[in-house]
Amino acid sequence: MQRQAFVELSRRLLAHATAGTTDLAATTYSVSVADYADPDRWQAEMDRIFRRVPLVLALAGELPEPGSYKVTWVLGTPVLLTRGDDGAARAFVDVCRHRGAVVTPEGCGRARRHTCPYHGWTYDTNGALVGIPGREGFHELDVASHGLVPLACGERAGLVFACITPGVAIDLDEWLSGYDEVLEPFGMGRWHLVSRREVDGANWKIVYDGYLEGYHFGSLHRDTLFGAFMSNVMAYDAWGPHQRVGFARHGIERLRDKPESEWGDQEGIGLVCTVFPSVSFAFLPAGVLMSQLFPGPTPDRSRTVQSIFWDHEPSEPEQTDIEGIAEMLFGVVRDEDYATGAGIQRALSSGANTEFVFGRNELGLHRFHQTVARLLTSERV
Ligand code: FES
Ligand SMILES: [Fe+2]
């Protein structure tokens, strides 16, 4: 974020903290409980959102040089991301064009050739089929049309996006609506992956709701995050479907005693930048916690990959400190946020509620659910 944007956000949150207020929507907003539980609705969300829009599948630091690759599974589709000799990131369905074996297992690495483990067909970083053992057995095969199936892919602000459905084009500029200008100044594209964990969760929207408000800090995170952050003091901003949520830190009042020119970036505030539909960046002093939420395999389940990226290659003692931070944050997410989400999921059919109500102070959830609803009926993303 630009310096001026940090100052403006700090100013807003300082005003809220001083007055005991927060950003508010005009009215409350309710969502039917059936929207979380109905399998047809969930399937529509997968088809019309997750299979149609650009998803953040990596940070550029996971593909640092030509030959770098990453394989990640999204809704049953293995996606191979590569960095070509031209420096461009590309995406492919990681499925062999011979008889459908998964070519490269999940994970990151470096390889100029991707060889299928079944019969050894080999593909290059552009997805081209460059090797067929026993070539004479396939003398009629059109090699040029048997490369890995490409997926629309692009990079903005160090984030690597792809759409998981072959043949579906993406327009990243339109999709981001200027949000890349908010993210670009962080320089995340040059940051290093330093820690990664995974956690299972409930329905993807139950889980994601928790990333979009700080109303729960004082209760659910009373003994953890609430030590650092005020509860229910938020500043919400949106660029298209993407949202930035600012939180006031305890002690933000100290900014009053300093001229704005001396305020540090992120001084007195916490920052979560979400990229619709399912990725969140929580900024740390010298890095970021990226949470990638993957729905499924059934409506009541999801998986979250939590990764920490650092703005430089950490020394060994730093790495030990980072692991401590990672373990602490992971504990909060698993034992507080996701454990609560699992309880909501288990009790969804209890009949206690036909609707969930989002307060005026939960503005981020209004926007999130309105965007989901819009995409279910809209031809445009
Ligand atoms: S399935 Fe990949 S080489 Fe046969
Ligand atoms: Fe939380």
Residues of the chain with CATH 2.102.10.10: 55-169
- β-pairing verdict for 279-284 and 269-275: antiparallel
Ligand 1 site-directed mutation target among 95, 97, 113, 116, most atoms within 8 Å of CB: 116
- In three-state form (DSSP H/G/I as H, E/B as E, the rest C), the secondary structure along 294-316 is EECCCCCCEEEEEEEEECCCCCH
The residue whose CB lies within 8 Å of the most ligand 1 atoms, and thus the one to mutate among 119, 123, 135, 148, is: 119
Task: For Cα atoms 123, 124, 128, give the angle at the middle one, nearest 5 degrees.
Answer: 65
Which residues face 71 on adjacent strands? 80, 107
Average pLDDT rounded to a whole number, residues 369-373: 98
Neighbours of ion ligand 2 (CB under 5 A): 210, 337
Q: Residue 267: is it exposed, middle or buried by C-beta count within 10 angstroms (0-12/13-18/19+)?
A: middle
According to the model, what pLDDT value does residue 380 have?
Answer: 85
Q: How far is the CA of 102 from the centre of ligand 1 (A)?
A: 8
- Banded model confidence at residue 89, pLDDT cuts 50, 70, 90: very high
As a whole number of angstroms, the longest Cα–Cα distance in the chain is 79
Tens digits of residue pLDDT in 307-358: 999 999 999 999 999 999 999 999 999 999 999 999 999 999 999 999 999 9
User: Rounded distance, CA 54 to CA 38, Å?
Assistant: 24
Give the pLDDT of residue 156.
Answer: 98
Nearest to 49 by CA among 201, 237, 212, 275: 275
Question: Tens of pLDDT along 144-178?
Answer: 999 999 999 999 999 999 999 999 999 999 999 99
CATH homologous superfamily of domain 3-52+186-377?
Answer: Naphthalene 1,2-dioxygenase Alpha Subunit; Chain A, domain 1 (3.90.380.10)
- CATH 3.90.380.10 intervals, the chain: 3-52+186-377
Q: Does domain 55-169 have CATH number 1.10.3720.10?
A: no
CA atoms within 13 Å, Cβ hemisphere of 144: 0
Summarised one tens digit per residue, pLDDT across range 10-40 is: 999 999 999 999 999 999 999 999 999 999 9
Tens of pLDDT along 174-219? 999 999 999 999 999 999 999 999 999 999 999 999 999 999 999 9
Mean pLDDT of 49-66: 97
Residue nearest to atom 1 of ligand 1 (CA): 99
Other CB atoms within a 10 A radius of the CB of residue 145 amount to 8
Quick: pLDDT tens for 266-302. Answer: 999 999 999 999 999 999 989 999 999 999 999 999 9
Q: Which residue has the higher pLDDT, 42 or 2?
A: 42
Which residue is closest in CA terms to ligand 1's atom 4? 119
User: What is the number of the ligand 1 atom nearest to the C-alpha of 100?
Assistant: 1
Neighbours of 270 (CB within 10 A): 21
Compute φ and ψ for 129, nearest 5 degrees. -75, 115
Nearest to 64 by CA among 148, 158, 185, 183: 158
Q: What percent of the chain has pLDDT over 90?
A: 97
Residues with CB under 6 A from ligand 1: 96, 98-101, 116, 118-121
Give the position, in ligand 1's atom list, of the atom nearest the Cα of 120: 3
Cα of 1 vs centre of ligand 2, distance in Å, is 23
Would you state the pLDDT for residue 2?
87
Please check the confidence at residue 1 and state whether its pLDDT lies above 80: no
